[in-house]
Amino acid sequence: MRIGKSAFLGAFVVFTAWFLAAAILQTPAVPSPAAAFSRLAAIFNGSLSLHAGASLFRVAAGLAAALAVGFPVGVLMGYDKKIDKLISPVVYLCYPVPKIALLPVLMLLFGIGEISKIALIFLIVVFQVIVSVRDATCNIEPQFFFPLYSLGASFGDIFREVLLPAVLPQLITALRLALGTAVSVLFFAETYGTQLGMGYFITDAWMRVNYLDMYAGIIMLALMGLLLFALLDMAERLACPWQNK
């Protein structure tokens, strides 16, 4: 999926429907898009940017930790059958568990601060990374390895020349799939034990019946998601140039 004209078309459809709903319903609970964007611009340089920055930091830290752990584990599982047999039962047991159910456990272990929220993002993403990278590694045809074996290549050479190019597209796809879930769960997690984050901002505005702030926060959350997907698209273009041909 690429961020492009289709994204602008989708935004046009959504905001047209929103404009019509606001015009028909005539209720403070559904303000016009213009009013929401005006409020967004008014509060962005104040509190909203701090909340958005806190949420982006948590997502980025969780993604980085998941990549640092999940990528090498997935490659080793796909490349070495013994390691796969050892780790697969643990992955298959933990992967289906709804990670939001682990939030109370994480808060008990790490407290209600940043670490528990980053750990939640990590758990959401890491298993998708492991499974995707493992499957991509397993699907590499053996004949791609034989010339390197015959030349006495090290594992580092094999990783650089075969494994990394083969698994990168699947890895980025896994991150795209995990990202939406991660942001959604983070929204819920940020309603507990914090006064910074988009989840806290939107919920607080809703509780104060400040609908303009609430909608401004929702737009900000959508823009954050769009930014993250655009960054993934950029990473794919840079790391996998053959995908664009």
CA atoms of 98 and 94, how far apart (whole Å):
9
- Chain-centre distance for alpha carbon 216: 21
Q: How confident is the model at residue 4 (pLDDT cuts 50, 70, 90)?
A: low
Per-residue pLDDT tens digits for 110-168? 888 889 899 989 998 899 899 999 999 988 888 877 787 787 778 788 888 888 888 88
SS3 content of the chain, % helix, strand, coil (to 5): 85, 0, 15
- Spatial CA neighbour of 235 closest among 181, 191, 190, 174: 174
Domain 5-239: which CATH class?
mainly alpha
More confident call, 4 vs 135: 135
Per-residue pLDDT tens digits for 170-209? 888 888 888 888 888 888 888 877 888 999 999 999 999 9
Instruction: Specify the pLDDT at position 12.
Output: 83
Instruction: Specify the pLDDT at position 164.
Output: 85
Domain ranges in the chain?
Answer: 5-239
- Spatial CA neighbour of 217 closest among 14, 43, 24, 7: 43
Output the DSSP codes for 96-121. TS-GGGGHHHHHHHH-SSHHHHHHHH
Exposure string over 26-57, b if 16+ CB within 10 A, otherwise e = eeeeebebeebeebbeebeeeebeebbebbbe
Note whether 48 and 202 are within 8 A (CB).
no
Note whether 92 and 68 are within 8 A (CB).
no
